[in-house]
Structure 1
């Protein structure tokens, strides 16, 4: 159990932060592919000043950034870093970014943008006393559930997600990442309709079965909005998002997605237009679209160490948790931040 901690928090605000343009030292992720993701060397996210511009540039260049040895950060330090990226101010005060998804997350009372995820017990952790058994306890050991955060229930969905490791088991608990940019490069040419013309309709179903490879659903029924308290589900009617997008900061062509697939339409369809593909056809299409980009050799499997902070863009990277089978009964605890982006940073079609 994680006990009470010091509350000597930083009071820095975004306007008070330096706008340093210096470069940061980077290296390839450990045992990962080289086409995306980097480890940031010798940057302390609690330092009085941060190389803000360089960090933002690095994230949108590489999609994922890993910072080691950040176990001393306070919630204020984590929020200071997250606010370097697109967000909506009301989310900082407890807005809508933590509705829906796999389950309700406990949030820090004084920092409601920071949630705790995993299997844990905490006592007066920055004012929070809570416990969770985790949400993936019934997963097959090889189960995956690829997604970009908030895509099925939040408008606009978060761009940045950060996770910081406070406790981790000696075995298991990895988070897997893959590049949406590489997935877009590898899209099958046989897909009909063409992927750049496609928008996917997503929905949080009340009951569903995820395909083992984690890109789509095998079956589904009901709506989470019918079974959960209203504050648990933001957009229970679902969302409509282009499959192939143009990331605003980098201009890169990328794929975004989540396994919560309901149907498939065409970009520009008028409201009320019947979908091109219903549930079964849309899920087959999505599975085929993502398969090349999620080949094992293209995936970065992050084995967490206490103090790791990983930040990623949900417009450039897709990710999945892994089964708890390898560490049943052991604690795994992370903080997580994901705030809705500004509207101009919402996923927009690649095809103009």
Structure 2
């Protein structure tokens, strides 16, 4: 949300002399250098004009003894005063950037970025690299987004796990996964752990002839390089079935159940369920088509289809859907 430059901001600290162009912080990981510029909007025009204090992050890479800029990173919802770049962390081909004064009221992963009703709630952004190209892979918000929490005041990443700090979060919860709805401990602070990995279920499955709806899940990891994502659907009748996936989500009546996927659909090989479960190891190196190639930073939605002659009707059913964000 736009603010007047120099307006009141609880707990504000100034680390950057705007005239001297001194950087707030520098991170080095191997041959990659990350600069933070939380006030770069003073210097760099955005598509809609100058966005004061919007912020940016810059990725530099080393070749021998020479450094060159590889990427200029901005938030997907750049706005005045968000201070994107307040915090940053880098691990391999993944960069996470915090924007402590971002204002949206969304929660969780990839929610609505445009309702700026929780002033200075904060956000974090995950970027991944494929080759020399960088793209935003996720938009992270607290599960209990609230104004002035400053989610994104610190960020850290290790493997497929991202941790984001919110130094002014107010709940009186203790330990892990406590009640975060009681804001009776002002500025107590909190940390949030996100898994870049095994996906989020969505859509609704209907009971099949086993008496229960089929649930899809995944194990292994969402790392494209590791190539070890194992899909599982249960309970299902001991019949042939297939897993399939696509780039878009849907919720359409189909057979005895609901089709949860849209767009260019990739159908994996037929499997036979045993013990009321069907499994399939996804091979990222051999996609069903070029349009369904899984790459770092891409999100794909998976579902299981299976024959169900005992149920009657259309004689087939489906699981719920599973959305997976893939990491390098």
Q: Which interval holds the TM-score relative to the shorter structure?
A: under 0.3
Looking at secondary structure, tell me which structure has more strand per residue. Answer: 2
The structure having more radius of gyration, on CA atoms, is 2
Length-normalised TM-score, structure 1: 0.26
Length-normalised TM-score, structure 2: 0.27
Higher relative contact order (CA 8 A, sep 6+): 1
